[in-house]
Amino acid sequence: MDYERYDRVRAVTWNDEALDLLDQRVLPMQQARVICHDVGRVAQAIFDLVVRGAPAIGIAAAWGLVLASRQIQAKNGPEARVALADATNTLNAARPTAVNLAWALRRMNAVLANAGDDWRVMLANEAAAIEQEDLAANRHMGRLGAALIEPGSGVLTHCNTGSLATSGFGTALGVIRAGVAEGRVARVFAGETRPWLQGARLTVWELLQDGIPATLIADAAAAHLMSTGQVQWVIVGADRITANGDVANKIGTYALAIAARYHGVKFMVVAPSSTVDMHTATGAEIEIEQRNEAELLGYGGQRTVAEGVRAWNPVFDVTPAALIDAIVTERGVVLQPNAQRMADAWSGADA
């Protein structure tokens, strides 16, 4: 299957000297790049949403540690690991909910444990491996998820889970891409995703680049859309999946799952296995990131709400496993996830 035809966007690029990021804050009207020459700039770019999406954040953090390695002196990997502790902590603190960030940093530091004087080379090779493995995993997940979809189906997605959020192809959007390529997905709808409008600004733009027709809807129109019978699957990504199958994802995902269950629409979560956190028992234990209320009180630098009004701005919510029909990772598919099925799927894995 010619998946390359539907995968033309790249958000994170390493050029051997710096980390080159497509600035997702100004898409689609501008295609600007942010060039990061040091770890502090990478951490700030992650926090500011220049780069976003759990896999892309992890990849950016890995390259950030490579940049940090050029600013220290160490004879071997163990020495470097100690010297890079501050850089690791700075990156780790940039976005606390997305588990891929901490996972990538743990993996990078693990390489240093037994490295000799070639530790810088090993660190760079590990960052490259994280990026390359993500792309391969995404394409595999695309095939696995698409196989669950009946030909001619309509799908609804939320936020952005495509090439902009990963090394390429995407997670939930990768399933949609594969479904389009295989003739299984006939209609694609995307919610706008307030308050940052990732669906409106990013997802429909990304699909447009790949020649995939998509229809934008207001977030509040999702339940009505489901009631019309035009959608058979809701397909979303994840920032963290817990041991019982609960899923933390962009705010609004939980509401979509409730509406989908009521209307008999299937609900699929697609994420790399690095997003699965078997050390966190349930979604109730996940730290939900709270962002600045200004994100809700205006847009594009223009205040749209009366002075004196306050806002509550959680950026994620948790969808209970009971509302999820399938979790798709590169390791396979878990249907009707619960604690036992998750344990069976991850038995023996280094989760």
246 labelled catalytic: no
d(CA 199, CA 236): 11
CB burial class (10 A; 0-12, 13-18, 19+) of residue 16?
exposed
* Three-state secondary structure call for residue 157: strand
Q: Is 302 exposed, middle or buried (0-12, 13-18, 19+ CB in 10 A)?
A: exposed
Pairing of strands 12-14, 33-36: unpaired
| CA-based radius of gyration for the chain | 20
* One-letter amino acid of 194: R
Q: Strands, E, within the chain: which ranges?
A: 12-14, 19-22, 33-36, 153-157, 185-191, 215-217, 233-236, 240-242, 247-250, 266-270, 276-277, 298-299, 302-303, 316-319, 326-329, 332-335
Catalytic entry in 239, 246, 277, 325: 239
Nearest to 36 by CA among 75, 71, 63: 63
Query: Cα separation of 16 and 14, whole Å?
Result: 6
Residue numbers annotated as active site: 239
